[in-house]
Structure 1
Amino acid sequence: MRLLHFNYSKRLISTDFSGKTIPPYAILSHRWGDSEVLFEDIGGNAYKEKEGYQKIKFCAEQAAQDQLQYFWIDTCCIDKWNLRELSKAINSMFRWYKNAARCYVFLPDVSISAATNIRQERAWEASFRASEWFTRGWTLQELIAPASVEFFSSNGRRIGDKRSLEQLIHEITRIPVKALQNCLLDEFTIPERMEWAEYRRTTEEEDEVYCLFGLLNIFMSTSYGEGKEQAWRRLQTEVEAVGSAPSIIPFSQNDHFVGREPQLAELEATLFTGTKTTRMAITGPAGTGKSQLALKLAYQTRRKNKSCSVFWINASNADSLYQSYASIAQKLDIPGWADEKADIRQLVKLHLSRKGSRQWLLIFDNVDRIDLGFGGMPTVPGAANLIDYLPQSELCSIIFTTTNSKITERLELQRVVELGEMTLDVARRTLQNYLKTPISESEQQEASLLLQELSYLPLAIVQAAAYINTKNTTLGHYLSQLLKQKEETRERNRVPSEGRLQEYGATGPVATTLLISMDQIRGSDPLAAEYLFLAASVDRKDIPLDLLEASSPREREAAIQILNSYGLVTRRPAESALDVHQLVHSALRGWLQKQERLDQWSQHAIARLLRVFPDNSHGNRSKWRRLLPHARYAISHDVPKEEEGDKIVLAWKCAMVLLSDGRYHEGEKLFVQVMETSSRVLGEEHPDTLTSMANLASTYRNQGRWKEAEVLDVQVIETRKRVLGEEHPSTLTSMTNLASTYRNQGRWKEAEKLEVQVLETSSRVLGEDHPDTLTSMTNLASTFWNQGRWKEAKELEVQVMETRKRVLRQEHLSTLNAIGDLAFTLKS
């Protein structure tokens, strides 16, 4: 849990108390606006310019009056780029409000004049009754959970608290007074507690269900995009399962699922038949319904075997895998699950491997690879893989879904179930289940022809049904559009194309249904079409909404809803992101390639990523980890040489964050690419080329490859001396880097010679108080220290400490570091 406070210089500070004793804190209950201060804003200086800052200031001042140093606000205390943290926060919110010393409710739609006497004048009561705060879903837990809830007007005047206003609040909300007085919620039945939210609304329809988690004492994974009804059904399942085996299935049971009965029976018969762990896989081409078959098995197993826990794990990349394991650890309350430093995957593996009486069914969905690269990207040779985190127990069964047949060879499987083409009868039932209106007798022939043209592929059927439902058209009309589209595609493909069209999967039933939907979208909503093209230019999973430009959040939301209605994207509002199916992504790239617009959209994606991609500071780690797969995907596309400028800069940013993340092998490849491109485009002596060489040398140093680092360092120094001069700051920096390379090899005399030169030049050119001069003093002192020359080290460190005290003050981090260095020398 993070808490906020203002430091001695009135700067907003965020402190992470994970694994520590949490101090008393206040908490703010409010409604989100369009200009809130977010987690990533805290480290900068612009947060005071946002409208939401006034709420932060109000909360801090009120907390100070109540002798509370720390406070919590959801807008900026949750790192929403960190999916594990976000999932944990949604399920922990009720507890955080409950544990708060004070809860301040800020009501922007209730105004009270400064001259009004609250006790004597009740003119505010009408606006208080009508406040939207009482109509929102998430504010329900914020009213019930805390012991102290105080209400404030738009100008910060205190109206009263939950106790003094309890009768009025009871009349507004119909919540029993006893519940407002913080009695045990178990005194009210589950239906009674659900009724309290009956007339409350949320921005996302699923949140009308999710906001009840804390009130019902339920832990349930979120699955935005499933719809309110499906979410209700999952919640009911969780409520009914109280007291039975804990499970996590993030998707509702698919009522549209039909067929695959033989495969389902085959999987079910193999469960828990191994002497250790039973491993099975569902394989088949993309779009054949592997995940849906696994989902059917999950619900069927849970229904038939109440003592069996079923856990769904997203294994598409390392981040998603880690988040799934963290949810399991939290659900099972495994000791140490809240420790940020713990390897959650090993904790879960050991817990599920121990002897016991309960059975476990684990479903690893979308296993495209088994090596654990962040965001699906490659890792260094010898890195851990998925197999290292699989539990070993005769009570455990594991199902993998994958399109990669090579993976099945490495997983030591007892059974592989391959999914192929559906039969006509099953395909017809699938189409009927997805359509809003029944297929009439006269439409049966058209339905058969349509399904034949769609190759009986489930994904194509779903997209066709989505179009028919959205446009309220007939099967016959859609079939004629499909045939026309296929004929046009055949005509175009008769003309030889230089592009790698086939590589992008621009043919096939999914591509055809996509083109039909896209024609409509481009005509009715160009912004939605632009979002599709941008999505085709980045990685297809977890596409942040920050990449989608719009004049307002409402305009962006409307465009996304259109794409969702046509079944072209999967929404993930909790993560503010979208997913695009693999076949849709490939077809979109194929279409753009055919239209000779793929280069243009790749450049657009690179430019957009440059605007949102953060620097490599620690506070931005979650953000750049999620954006990194998209950036690396975008720069993997070849763009015209005259347009390589943005690509070089984005590649450099990617390399820098990889370096910060300790992924030196991956960073090295990008730095080499940046250096070679810069050298070719800008010239060997260009400052950017030299900077890329210096960065590559730093990567070598971090891997202990001193000789390779030294060669580059020397080359950079010689070029900068010749081009910029011996006293230029960049030249001095490169000399410092080479000295560092010498120090790491124990070549103290060579390091000392360079450091003395840097110090003398910095003192003369920049001044003795300049930060770079002080840094060079510190480096030279370190070299003296490593040779046991304590007196010389001490003299420099005293000078650094005194200067930093005078210039930066006693409490500055750099001053404290200087004090620590001197103390260590004196101790030595």
Structure 2
Amino acid sequence: MRLLHFDGEILVSTDFRGKTIPRYAILSHRWGDSEILFEDLGRATYKEKGGYRKIEFCAAQAARDGLQYFWIDTCCIDKWDLREHSKAINSMFRWYKGAARCYVFLPDVSAAVDAPQSSWEASFRASEWFTRGWTLQELIAPASVEFFSREGWRIGNKTSLEPLVHATTGIPVRALRNGPLDEFTIDERREWAKNRETSEEEDAVYCLLGILNIAIPTAYGEGVERAWRRLQTELEAAGSAPSIIPFSQNDQFVGRESQLAELEAKLFKHNQATTMAIVGPPGTGKSQLALEVAHRTRQKHRTCSVFWVDSSDTDSLYRSYTGIAQKLSIPGWDDEKADSRQLVRAYLSGKGERQCLLVFDNADDMSLGSSGMFTGAAHLSNYLPQSELCAVLYTTTNRDTAKRLAAPNIVELKEMTASTSQRMLENHMKSSLSKSEQQEAQLLLRELSYLPLAIVQAAAYINTRNITLREYRSLVARQKEAVLGCNSKLPEDGPQQHDTTGPVATTLLISLDQIRGDGELAADYLFLAACVDRKGIPLDLLPASLPREREEAVKVLSRYGLVTRRPAESSLDLHQLVHRALRGWLRKQKRLDEWMGNAIREVYRVFPGDNYGSRSKWRRLLPHAKYALLHSPAEQGGRDWSELVWKCATALYNDGRWREAEQLIMQVVETSSRVLGDEHPSTLTSMANLASTYRNQGRNQGRWTEAEQLDVQVMETSKRGLGDEHPNTLSSMANLASTYRNQGRWTEAEQLDVQVMETSKRVLGDEHPSTLSSMANLASTYRNQGRWMKAEQLDVQVMETRKRVLGDEHPSTLTSMNNLAFTLKGQNRNGEAVSLIEALLQVGKRVFGPTHPNILSSSHTLDEWRGRST
């Protein structure tokens, strides 16, 4: 749990995970259009947003109530961190209940100080705050709830306004007084939310989790009815083994009876757990079959835990295991340093008396790549419990993977039967088929190769456009004729990468024709989504002049069954067949390169800088950036391509993912060299960046020699092409000197540093930033040689010049103060060193915030030095 407080004028966010949580106030409010988000806290401009007024109000009121800390959902939850966001939704009721004070801010209620109730009562009762789903728990959970007008005046609390609140909400007085909620039936508690609205339909269910004392994984996009059924299943399962199945049972599931029977019979045959795999091409319904198995297992074996694991990549696997660890209350599950995968593995391996079923969905590769938080490849088998009672079920498109994981217990999905396909179609149609349509349905299904995904997309189109099966079959015929008439050659990477002829491609392109006719925005979003990673595509990537326009366009795509929405994550998914078909269509239209360029531009637009508070954001955007860069020709990408590579490399470097950063920059070097030539300034810049990456990997990586070779090459080429005194040449010499310093080659570093400094003074002037940097570098060399007086003279000169030219608060000025402090400390002038660090921190906290890594490092240094200062 994060809490806010003000340190002077700076708003500070403190993470109390694993620590004792202090007393805090909490804000209940409705979101506006300009809220301060978690990622805004590291920026100097957050005070300019409209939501800052609420933060000031909450902080001031908390201070009046003797509380230093306060919580506001808009900026205390890192919504780019999916694991944190899901946990927060299930913890919200507990956080409100634990608050010392809850302040309800009502922007639609006006009341002056000491105004009579008659002047504001009508607007109070009509306030939208009473109509929202999430504010229900914010009214019931806290012991102290106080209401404030838009002017910030207190108009009463839950006790003084009890008759008014009871009359407005219909909530029993006993519940308003924090009586035990289990005294009320489930239906009674559900009734309290009956007339309340939520932005997302599933939130009508999720906002009741705390009130019903239930925890379930959120699955935005499932619809309110399925969410209710999952909630009901959890309620009915009270006393059963703990389980996590993030999707409700599919009431439209049909067919696969023989495979279903085989799986149920073998998974726990003679009480002996078995490992099995479902394998088949994309779109054949593997996940739906596994989901049916999961729900039936839970229903028939109440003592068997069932856990669903997304194993498409390492990060998804980790999030799934973290949810399992929380559900099982495994000690240490909430420790950020703990590996939840090993916690769950050890726990389930040691619980020999409990049956368990683990469903690993999307296990297409045993070696899982990382898309964000975790580095390196993880072998799936490393995280499997060693227990005879723990059954495992995989879904995969990879036959070799299935054999390695589960041979000989493999269930293969092939083409569905005609009768089963018809039942599936009927289940997805909003109106039942007449007898005259039965034959038409069979003809259509044959055209669609009885493929489940194609059937679902066809039904979505028919329902949305309200047309007949015959009319849709005519569209299928015309679409196939158009594809055959196109007579295009397959691209070099083959039909598996760019299919435009299969049934899913056919249904997709029929829908695409209609979407393009209705408006370009939704179609543009599809094309853009085809040029980034197909999972977890952030809505921020989809450009729109107004959020409402984006929302309407995404709803169009949802109605046609082309995307799966994740509203809680503000993202969407494309099925891999849809993704593949879109790329194929764009290529045939000779527009793929154009849209790859658009994708590069949009990813670059939203990709954050290296601010430490943006880590969760760049982790989620990295898969999309890397996909776009990999599939986009660098020579056509222009400046955005190169800049995005460097942004990604910087993010990877800050995450400690040295090798991945190195690979990206090497790609830029090779491309620049091929397209622009070995001596082009851009090529030399990229080589210098690669050398910097080698340098930053440290002595233990043994990359100094490689860094030196590149630095020398860049320097010599710059001298030859640009001259000895060109700024780029001087920069390359400074880089080489830095490499020498890191190797302890002080004499060589000093010679270069002196040469760079003297040339910079003569060419650029004494006060030029590059000149001052060269002086600071030389001072660093002197410091490492123990030549303190020479280092001090330079450090003082740099600091005073930067203060005069750049100002006291410029980051370069603060860096020079830090350098001088270390020089003074090296001379045992501890008092002066401590005073300088104290002055640095006073300014630095105001400029960067107290939690910035550099400020934390300086604070740690100060604590150490104070213990030794005299």
Alignment CA distance shift 1:731-1:332 (3 Å): farther
State the shift of 1:713 in Å: 2.3
State the shift of 1:272 in Å: 3.1
User: What amino acid is the match of 1:166?
Assistant: E
Does residue 448 of the first structure (1) align with residue 447 of the second (2)? no
Alignment CA distance shift 1:681-1:14 (3 Å): farther
Q: Find the residue that maps to 2:367 and give its secondary structure.
A: coil
Contact kept, 8 Å, 1:63 with 1:69, in 2: the verdict is: yes
Does residue 438 of the first structure (1) align with residue 432 of the second (2)? yes
Contact kept, 8 Å, 2:352 with 2:387, in 1: the verdict is: no
CA RMSD for the aligned pairs? 3.0
Contact kept, 8 Å, 1:777 with 1:797, in 2: the verdict is: no
User: What amino acid is the match of 2:110?
Assistant: S
Does residue 588 of the first structure (1) align with residue 586 of the second (2)? no
Contact kept, 8 Å, 1:349 with 1:389, in 2: the verdict is: yes
Does residue 11 of the first structure (1) align with residue 7 of the second (2)? no
Show CA shifts across 1:690-742 (max 9, x none).
44223212332313222111111233444566778878887676556445534
Aligned to 1:86: 85
Show CA shifts across 1:331-356 (max 9, x none).
11110011111111111111111033
State the shift of 1:660 in Å: 1.8
Alignment CA distance shift 1:769-1:606 (3 Å): closer
Aligned to 2:37: 38
State the shift of 1:678 in Å: 3.2
User: What amino acid is the match of 2:713?
Assistant: Q
* Equivalent-residue separation in structure 2 for 1:792 and 1:725 (angstroms): 38
| Pairing partner for 1:162 from 146, 158, 162 | 158
Alignment CA distance shift 1:403-1:811 (3 Å): closer
State the shift of 1:743 in Å: 4.7
Show CA shifts across 1:767-813 (max 9, x none).
99978856764565355499xx9999713986766655556648753
- More displaced stretch, 353-362 vs 754-763: 754-763
State the shift of 1:613 in Å: 0.3
Aligned to 2:317: 321
State the shift of 1:262 in Å: 0.8
| Pairing partner for 2:827 from 788, 795, 799 | 795
Q: How many residues align?
A: 818
| Pairing partner for 1:615 from 600, 609, 618 | 609
State the shift of 1:688 in Å: 4.3
State the shift of 1:616 in Å: 2.7
Aligned to 2:214: 218
* Equivalent-residue separation in structure 2 for 1:621 and 1:289 (angstroms): 36
| Pairing partner for 2:592 from 592, 598, 602 | 598
Gaps of 5+ in 2: 792-821, 846-854
* Equivalent-residue separation in structure 2 for 1:716 and 1:793 (angstroms): 36
Alignment CA distance shift 1:574-1:458 (3 Å): same
* Equivalent-residue separation in structure 2 for 1:14 and 1:376 (angstroms): 23
Show CA shifts across 1:521-554 (max 9, x none).
1111321111111111111000000011112222
Does residue 781 of the first structure (1) align with residue 775 of the second (2)? no
Show CA shifts across 1:118-166 (max 9, x none).
3x34210000000111110000111111111111111211111111111
* Equivalent-residue separation in structure 2 for 1:543 and 1:4 (angstroms): 30
Show CA shifts across 1:578-633 (max 9, x none).
00001011111111111111111110111011110012332211111110111111
Show CA shifts across 1:311-364 (max 9, x none).
111111122111111111111111001111111111111111103321111111
Aligned to 1:536: 530
Q: Find the residue that maps to 1:103 and give its secondary structure.
A: strand
Aligned to 1:424: 418
Alignment CA distance shift 1:769-1:642 (3 Å): closer
User: What amino acid is the match of 1:37?
Assistant: I
* Equivalent-residue separation in structure 1 for 2:423 and 2:256 (angstroms): 12
* Equivalent-residue separation in structure 2 for 1:808 and 1:720 (angstroms): 40
* Equivalent-residue separation in structure 1 for 2:57 and 2:283 (angstroms): 52
State the shift of 1:413 in Å: 3.9
Alignment CA distance shift 1:733-1:561 (3 Å): same
| Pairing partner for 1:564 from 558, 569, 572 | 558
Q: Find the residue that maps to 1:150 and give its secondary structure.
A: strand
Does residue 357 of the first structure (1) align with residue 353 of the second (2)? yes
* Equivalent-residue separation in structure 1 for 2:65 and 2:529 (angstroms): 49
Alignment CA distance shift 1:198-1:370 (3 Å): same
Contact kept, 8 Å, 1:528 with 1:562, in 2: the verdict is: yes
* Equivalent-residue separation in structure 2 for 1:796 and 1:768 (angstroms): 30
Alignment CA distance shift 1:93-1:769 (3 Å): farther
| Pairing partner for 2:195 from 193, 199, 202 | 199
Does residue 245 of the first structure (1) align with residue 241 of the second (2)? yes
* Equivalent-residue separation in structure 2 for 1:276 and 1:754 (angstroms): 72
- More displaced stretch, 321-330 vs 716-725: 716-725
State the shift of 1:238 in Å: 0.3
User: What amino acid is the match of 1:714?
Assistant: V
* Equivalent-residue separation in structure 2 for 1:365 and 1:783 (angstroms): 58
Show CA shifts across 1:491-511 (max 9, x none).
112x54767673311111000
Contact kept, 8 Å, 1:781 with 1:796, in 2: the verdict is: no
Aligned to 2:254: 258
* Equivalent-residue separation in structure 2 for 1:138 and 1:769 (angstroms): 57
* Equivalent-residue separation in structure 1 for 2:260 and 2:76 (angstroms): 45
User: What amino acid is the match of 1:128?
Assistant: F
Q: Find the residue that maps to 2:371 and give its secondary structure.
A: helix
Alignment CA distance shift 1:252-1:797 (3 Å): farther
Alignment CA distance shift 1:239-1:449 (3 Å): same
1:133-144 to 2 correspondences below 5 Å: 133-144=129-140
Contact kept, 8 Å, 1:793 with 1:825, in 2: the verdict is: no
* Equivalent-residue separation in structure 1 for 2:446 and 2:613 (angstroms): 53
Aligned to 2:702: 704
* Equivalent-residue separation in structure 1 for 2:451 and 2:407 (angstroms): 27
State the shift of 1:100 in Å: 1.1
* Equivalent-residue separation in structure 1 for 2:594 and 2:829 (angstroms): 55
* Equivalent-residue separation in structure 1 for 2:127 and 2:431 (angstroms): 41
Q: Find the residue that maps to 2:584 and give its secondary structure.
A: helix
Aligned to 1:151: 147
Does residue 67 of the first structure (1) align with residue 66 of the second (2)? yes
User: What's the TM-score once normalised by structure 1's chain length?
Assistant: 0.93
State the shift of 1:297 in Å: 0.4
State the shift of 1:751 in Å: 4.7
State the shift of 1:388 in Å: 0.8
Gaps of 5+ in 1: none
Alignment CA distance shift 1:61-1:777 (3 Å): farther
Contact kept, 8 Å, 1:276 with 1:392, in 2: the verdict is: no
Aligned to 1:463: 457
User: What amino acid is the match of 2:409?
Assistant: R
User: What amino acid is the match of 1:134?
Assistant: F
Contact kept, 8 Å, 2:825 with 2:833, in 1: the verdict is: no
* Equivalent-residue separation in structure 2 for 1:342 and 1:801 (angstroms): 36
User: What amino acid is the match of 1:103?
Assistant: C
